[in-house]
Chain A
Amino acid sequence: MLLSVEGVSKHFGGLTALDEVSLSVEAGQIFGLIGPNGSGKTTLVNIISGFLRPNGGRIVFDGQPIQGLEPYQIARRGLCRTFQITLNPARMTVMENMLLGPRTQRGESIWRAAFEPWAVRKDEAAHLERAWKLLEMVNLHHHADEYAGSLSGGQKKLLALVQILMAGPRLILLDEPVAGVNPRLIEDIVQLILRLKRDGQNFLIVEHNMQVVRQLCDAICVLDMGRVLAQGAPEEVLARDDVLRAYIAAGGQVGEQAG
């Protein structure tokens, strides 16, 4: 098992955002985390990635407990996340964003940058080569020297995704990879994720778009009001009445977004 969340709870004052949530992500699959707005998905992602501390429970990644670690320590163990609103450094170029990706770079220590300049230069050349390949894969190579802030919404999502790939993580947490992206580009992103999965990349995806969830996910978990409502294969889970009701109660998003 790659990632297991065991009985994680989170309270904000009197509000219970997560109540004893447990789920497990197997290697080799795309795991979907869905649920209506306010069901606790983003809170859970923030807890798994270390940006929030849980009030209770355990998180085990790759056989090691990771709850309570700093976000960067979790990322260094190979669990990297993207953000719902792409926060990519806007006043850095696309290529600078890419070169930021690799997790531990010798040149990011000022001493090693000063005293091992040749090793740092070699690292940079290798990263640059890989970055060009990934940018070509997502058709962003013509934009390499543009500021990331000047890209379209969909291109920003793609950049965030290939930037994370530069880090070479075992598991990628994608927080709403297609939200706000135009439909043509959605298909590109879906195909890219499927291709990466075939190459052995593991994903945990938070997504609202049911069409995309059906296309991508091998297993899903539905959160509602901070609890796990259902877990299993997408066709079965999405056919369940209580899942449907949870969505309708939250504003009928299944009807809207299932397409």
Chain B
Amino acid sequence: MIAFLVYLFTIIGIYGLMSLSLSLQYGTTGLVNLGEVGFFMVGAYVSAIMVMLGGLPIGVGLLGAIAAGAVFGVLMALPIGDLRQDYWAIVTLAAAEIARLIFLNTNLGSPYVGASYGVAGIPAPWQQHFSTAAYGYVYLGLVAVCVACAYALVRWVGRTPYGRLLKAIRESDEVALALGKDVRRARIWAMALGGGIAGLAGGLFAHFNGFIGPDYFMPLETFLVWAMVILGGSGNHLGALVGTAVIEAIYNSTRFLDISQAHASLVASLRMVLIGVLIILVILYLPRGLVPEGRRRYGGSRAAQR
């Protein structure tokens, strides 16, 4: 049981990074990014390739995953920086799928990256120094540190004038433009920041799971992350993490049910139904999510000036 909880929290942490990424991009900036899983996949593959082919340390691989996610975010945003939300939805969805189809159909000239067979035997950091039981905690600790850093980053962004501009873009990009703001540039940066965070999630996943394949990065993953952000409270980064915990707990809960093989796929589908129902209930009764977006108060600063 405890081993399962360690596993569950590690997964929550990895998906939590993706939720923080989407929370910044959609929750704060209003960018309809339906290609969230693309960052995750690019990060996973880049870190695996750098470590296994490049012989680089895993830390460098993870930094590579961050950079790759950020670059992928910029590439997605460049052609659509000026456009409306509907265009963002279709372009980001397509970009992630294109990237997935590339990984599905090429082995990049190497025996490791096996197209549809995926990449097996991805090493984990410091594994030889610990017993299998203890290693779970070590990796959970690594993931927790990453989540804490990412959370601190997005919180900090929210308190800068740049973060205020992102919120203004979410609410009305026309007003931001009329006030002389370079909206396109701000959007591209939001995609880069969020892309880097989700790229890190991908790298952490690759080294945690030891195996990655194109099937892991279907658009469904993106929608799970969306469910997490909407459930938790769009615009609140803590809410994104809460939403991640709830969705992952539901997603992994069925393994304790005593079900026969024959019903396994039925139950797997029922999990998605349950998540769907939960989303509908939240939208109906808690439209701002479990943890609503907060507002920054300035009232005190007026008294201070007198």
B177 at the interface (CB under 8 A from A): yes
Using CB atoms, name the residue of chain A closest to B165. Answer: A108
Shortest CB–CB separation between residue A158 and chain B, in angstroms? 15
Asked if residues A104 and B180 are in contact (CB atoms below 8 Å), the reply is yes
Q: Contacts A100-B168, A109-B162, A120-B160: A144 and B302 contacting too (C-beta < 8 A)?
A: yes
Q: Within A171-222, which residues are at the interface with B (CB < 8 Å)?
A: none
Q: Which residues of A contact B172 (CB under 8 A)?
A: 87-89
Asked if residues B174 and A103 are in contact (CB atoms below 8 Å), the reply is no
Using CB atoms, name the residue of chain B closest to A160. Answer: B175
Bound CA span A123–B161, Å:
10
Q: Within B156-197, which residues are at the interface with A (CB < 8 Å)?
A: 157, 160-162, 164-165, 167-168, 170-172, 174-183, 186, 189, 193
Compute the total of residue contacts between A and B using a CB distance below 8 Å. Answer: 116
Using CB atoms, name the residue of chain B closest to A133. Answer: B305
Q: Within B266-303, which residues are at the interface with A (CB < 8 Å)?
A: 293, 295-299, 301-302
Using CB atoms, name the residue of chain B closest to A113. Answer: B160
Q: Which residues of B contact A75 (CB under 8 A)?
A: 177-181
Shortest CB–CB separation between residue A120 and chain B, in angstroms? 7
Shortest CB–CB separation between residue A227 and chain B, in angstroms? 27
Q: Which residues of A contact B167 (CB under 8 A)?
A: 89, 91-92, 96
Q: Which residues of B contact A70 (CB under 8 A)?
A: 177
A231 at the interface (CB under 8 A from B): no
Q: Which residues of B contact A88 (CB under 8 A)?
A: 171-172, 175
Using CB atoms, name the residue of chain B closest to A117. Answer: B160
Using CB atoms, name the residue of chain A closest to B306. Answer: A132
Bound CA span A93–B301, Å:
14
Bound CA span A81–B172, Å:
14
Q: Within A94-153, which residues are at the interface with B (CB < 8 Å)?
A: 95-96, 99-101, 103-110, 113, 120, 123-124, 128-129, 132, 141, 144-145, 147
Asked if residues B305 and A72 are in contact (CB atoms below 8 Å), the reply is no
Bound CA span A80–B175, Å:
10
Interface size bracket, B side: 20 to 34
Asked if residues B189 and A110 are in contact (CB atoms below 8 Å), the reply is yes
Please give the number of chain A residues whose Cβ is less than 8 angstroms from any Cβ of chain B in the complex: 47
Using CB atoms, name the residue of chain B closest to A142. Answer: B299
Asked if residues A92 and B160 are in contact (CB atoms below 8 Å), the reply is no
Q: Which residues of A contact B296 (CB under 8 A)?
A: 93, 96
Shortest CB–CB separation between residue B187 and chain A, in angstroms? 12
Asked if residues A124 and B297 are in contact (CB atoms below 8 Å), the reply is no
Asked if residues A132 and B302 are in contact (CB atoms below 8 Å), the reply is yes
Asked if residues B161 and A120 are in contact (CB atoms below 8 Å), the reply is yes
Bound CA span A141–B299, Å:
9
Q: Which residues of A contact B293 (CB under 8 A)?
A: 91
Bound CA span A96–B169, Å:
13
A76 at the interface (CB under 8 A from B): yes
Q: Contacts A93-B295, A128-B298, A167-B179: A100 and B165 contacting too (C-beta < 8 A)?
A: yes
Bound CA span A96–B175, Å:
13
Q: Which residues of B contact A107 (CB under 8 A)?
A: 160-162
- 19 extra A-B contacts, CB within 8 A, seeds A100-B175, A144-B299: A70-B177, A72-B182, A76-B180, A80-B179, A89-B168, A89-B170, A90-B171, A91-B170, A100-B164, A103-B180, A105-B161, A108-B161, A108-B165, A108-B181, A110-B160, A110-B189, A124-B161, A144-B298, A145-B299
Nearest 8 CB-CB pairings of A with B: A107-B161, A89-B171, A75-B180, A103-B180, A113-B160, A71-B177, A76-B180, A95-B298
